[in-house]
Amino acid sequence: KQEVTQIPAALSVPEGENLVLNCSFTDSAIYNLQWFRQDPGKGLTSLLLIQSSQREQTSGRLNASLDKSSGRSTLYIAASQPGDSATYLCAVTSGTYKYIFGTGTRLKVLA
């Protein structure tokens, strides 16, 4: 059974710091992994999708890596800004039809 863990549950950093968010999963037989951002009271916004054959994806200040064999993904945020404050969730495919979500890391970037 696929399980997804995100550590830490919460993180506070000063503005300008580079940071890494972690996602681990138990079953390496995945099609892809997605990273999402969720603002309070809002839905999830897809940030990056990494296919199982890829090692990383980049979008602006965001870089996500995938190591299927070890069941790990990281989301790297460069030069963090207060506007990056949100909850970040990862999700991996499980079976043929669904995603399994982690419970997220709540990030606060202090001005």
* 4 near other proteins, judged by CB under 8 A: yes
Single residue of 11, 19, 49, 62 touching other proteins by CB under 8 A? 49
Q: What pairs with residue 65 in β-bridges?
A: 56, 74
9: Cα separation from own chain's centroid: 12
Listed ranges 10-18, 21-29, 73-81, 93-101: which one lies at the site for other proteins (CB under 8 A): 93-101
* 51 near other proteins, judged by CB under 8 A: yes
Single residue of 32, 72, 74, 76 touching other proteins by CB under 8 A? 32
* 43 near other proteins, judged by CB under 8 A: yes
CA angle 56, 62, 66 (to 5 degrees): 25
What is the DSSP secondary structure assignment for residue 35, as one 8-state letter? E
111 closest CA partner among 82, 77, 85:
82
Q: What pairs with residue 12 in β-bridges?
A: 108
Provide the binding-site residues for other proteins, judged by CB under 8 A.
4, 31-32, 34, 36, 41-46, 49, 51, 89, 91, 93, 96-104
